[in-house]
Structure 1
Amino acid sequence: MDMLKDLESLQFEYGVPEESRTWLFLQGRFRGLMIKACAHATFFCKLFYVLRQSLYENQTSASLSPGSSFSATPASEPLKVGIIGGGHLGKQLAQVLLRFVPLPAESLRISTRRPEALDEFQKVGVQCFYHNTSLVKWADVIFLCCLPSQLPNICLEIQTSLKKTCTVFSFIAAVPIARLKLLLNHTNILRPQYQCANDFVNIWGTDKEITAALRDPAILQATCPYSPAGGITLNIKLLEGIFYAALNICTEKSMYHSHALQVLSELFLSEHFKDCGIDKASCPKFQLTDFVSKAYAKNLSQKSSFPWFDLTAVQLKETPFSQHLSKNTALQDQLSLLYCATFGVSQTKEQQVVSIGSLSQQEKRPQEPDAFSVTGYL
């Protein structure tokens, strides 16, 4: 309960000079960006959580190649998430992850210069300390929530301790992903990019915790990757990066590419098609050429895994999945449904049409696909 809500003289706006009030929209934009960032991070972690659980449950599958280390991993191993930075964003993100993934407290750790300021998390069992190197050695996913000025030193500190399989998710808008790749000497990086419209409409509210805001269907649907509501849009390259990151998890487990496609199709597509329970053949399925070039697919043997994808290249270049996603409105529908289902909210057909219609406004794609990437598979 906000005890100051009806006390006009104690509101933030009361002390702002009249000539400066035109800038008050930035307060709503900041809140909108915070809510979207936390929501998209949660979607990413929930997908990884579900995927890992599915892989553990199928660890004896015949599709695993001989010599796989997958069977040596205990089925109960949780997703381990680390946050570097315990400021406003770091704390809000931790609350949302604990509420919606849901992560057990022991699977979340925060490294910050002021761990004593995170007493509320330590009370519920979240480890809070100041040791970035220790955090990245432990974590499967690292969220960078520090200041841009702190980033070079942090990267220098952690780059030799980062596991190849650790996914780094950066919220530092001032540092582009190509620069992050150089600073970290790491390719498994995701970085959301947001575009704010000139005609900003504040639908984000002011007096709700972000966990409460994401239980509001209108606010949640405004955070949908394809939605232009609220005047803030997400570059869809993040979605591409998330799917290629999921394939990297399968590659880490030495899964045949056919099995990896089957797992992704069952988890992320079939669940939301009504006919799938009756006729499995009618369920949509990912194809090999949805993710790799036709030339690379032609030379990939049946008992091969996907290559290890450079997620920074995926987010900077045109990929096979870019074209598949932009042309396939049914897939866009499924991803919107999957996104809302992550937070326990159902999306109507009318809402899907409004959201998906904004794709062309969210990003400018190259005229021709990049067929000559360094790795040769995109």
Structure 2
Amino acid sequence: MVDVAADLSSLYFEAELTEDEKEFLYLRARSAGLTFCGCAHAAFLRKQVPSLRCTIKCPSVDRGSLASGDSDMCVGILGMGHMGKQLLLALLEKSGVKPSHIKISTSDVLFLCCLPSHLHKVCADLRSHLSKCCLVYCFISGVPVTRLAQLLRHNFILKAQYDFVSCDTADVSCTHLTTALTDPLLIEASCPTMTGGISVSLNWVSAVLYSLLNICTSASLGSSDALSLINNVLKEKCPHAVELDAHSFISASCLHTEDPFLWISLIDAQTKETPLLCFLSSSKPMQQCISAAYKSLLCKPHQTVTV
């Protein structure tokens, strides 16, 4: 059956726009790109956290089974507007989350997707219920992570900061999110270590690694074991990865191997020049390793991942 309206330009979204309004059409593509990158990066984090937690609880477990989403980690999404719905689709599609693992309380990872106008009330309701180890991932625009920490009285918070650089990038504004998440070119373009287009800062990458370290600390894991676990996560995807050591995370290390790292404030990790940020900025091999881990976790098993 032929769609007789398929080529009628008068039905396109742009048809009723004035010339002045058409100058802002790029914002539509930027908004779609931000939604895609935000959901992809959240799915990447969601796949890293339960894998590490399960390995801590059961060191002999087959990590291949964890990659398929066999985890009892609870995920909370607060706010079911456009961003919350897109994030839910991404998590169900790409991170192995089962519907039964989506919770509204007692979550290991809580995604904040509410409107900025609701933030004060939401934070007032949340802060007495957040455990220290609950990782809060914020999608709320226009609110600095330092302000979120004050409102929630919580410092285990991640918030991606994106930069925009004009270049020729794929337009995902007319593509369904779950379809976009199966496109290896879009996944490649959204890699946390990529520059140009819409790119996330290395502070976010650094904070993700610090969050994994905190998870080990919350389990009272010795520093040597914690570093071994995190390095193994990276080595699985990039066998020749540069190993992280204690000095990669903290400026001065006098830890005994049996002692856990001190709890790291993710607010400091995202707003200050940390040892890990300096290391990531100067180490191209480590950036390539992060990129390989990202693409491997988001791409389907039959897709080839190159570094």
What TM-score do you get using the length of structure 1 for normalisation?
0.74
1:175 aligns with 2:176: no
Identity of aligned residues (%): 33
Seen in structure 2, the aligned counterparts of structure 1 residues 288 and 34 have a Cα distance that, compared at 3 Å, is: same
Equivalent runs, 1:1-378 vs 2, <5 Å: 6-58=7-59, 78-109=72-103, 135-136=104-105, 138-197=106-165, 199=166, 201-229=168-196, 231-273=197-239, 284-294=242-252, 297-298=253-254, 300-344=255-299, 345-349=303-307
Contact 2:94-2:181 within 8 A present in 1 as well? no
| Distance of 2:169 and 2:293 partners within structure 1 | 25
Contact 2:192-2:200 within 8 A present in 1 as well? yes
| Distance of 2:93 and 2:144 partners within structure 1 | 30
Q: Please tell me the residue identity of whatever aligns with 1:100.
A: K
| Distance of 2:20 and 2:260 partners within structure 1 | 61
| SS of 1:168 mapped into structure 2 | strand
Shift of 1:77: 5.6
Question: Structure 1: which 5+ residue stretches go unaligned?
Answer: 61-75, 110-134, 275-282, 350-378
Seen in structure 2, the aligned counterparts of structure 1 residues 185 and 245 have a Cα distance that, compared at 3 Å, is: same
Contact 1:28-1:202 within 8 A present in 2 as well? no
Seen in structure 2, the aligned counterparts of structure 1 residues 49 and 243 have a Cα distance that, compared at 3 Å, is: same
Q: Please tell me the residue identity of whatever aligns with 2:281.
A: S
State which drifts further: 11-20 or 36-45.
11-20
| SS of 1:23 mapped into structure 2 | coil
Q: Please tell me the residue identity of whatever aligns with 2:39.
A: C
| Distance of 1:224 and 1:269 partners within structure 2 | 18
Seen in structure 2, the aligned counterparts of structure 1 residues 322 and 219 have a Cα distance that, compared at 3 Å, is: same
Q: What are the superposed Cα offsets for residues 220-255 of structure 1, whole Å, 9 maximum, x if unpaired?
A: 1111112234x2121110111111110111111111
| SS of 1:272 mapped into structure 2 | coil
Contact 1:290-1:320 within 8 A present in 2 as well? yes
Q: Please tell me the residue identity of whatever aligns with 2:234.
A: F
Q: What are the superposed Cα offsets for residues 242-296 of structure 1, whole Å, 9 maximum, x if unpaired?
A: 111101111111111100000111112244227xxxxxxxx642211111122xx
Shift of 1:19: 2.7
Shift of 1:8: 2.5
| Distance of 1:202 and 1:327 partners within structure 2 | 26
Question: Structure 2: which 5+ residue stretches go unaligned?
Answer: 62-69
User: Quick check: which has more Rg, 1 or 2?
Assistant: 1
Contact 2:193-2:290 within 8 A present in 1 as well? no
Q: CA RMSD in A?
A: 1.9
| Distance of 2:114 and 2:220 partners within structure 1 | 34
Q: Which runs of 4+ in 1 moved over 6 A?
A: none
Q: Please tell me the residue identity of whatever aligns with 1:82.
A: G
Q: Please tell me the residue identity of whatever aligns with 2:125.
A: E
Shift of 1:205: 2.9
Contact 1:270-1:284 within 8 A present in 2 as well? no
Contact 2:192-2:291 within 8 A present in 1 as well? yes
| SS of 2:294 mapped into structure 1 | helix
Contact 2:237-2:292 within 8 A present in 1 as well? no
Q: What are the superposed Cα offsets for residues 173-192 of structure 1, whole Å, 9 maximum, x if unpaired?
A: 21001100100000000000
Contact 1:195-1:233 within 8 A present in 2 as well? yes
Seen in structure 2, the aligned counterparts of structure 1 residues 59 and 292 have a Cα distance that, compared at 3 Å, is: farther
Q: Please tell me the residue identity of whatever aligns with 1:25.
A: Y
Shift of 1:200: 5.2
| Distance of 1:23 and 1:188 partners within structure 2 | 36
Aligned length: 293
Shift of 1:215: 1.1
What TM-score do you get using the length of structure 2 for normalisation?
0.90
Q: What are the superposed Cα offsets for residues 122-147 of structure 1, whole Å, 9 maximum, x if unpaired?
A: xxxxxxxxxxxxx34x1011111111
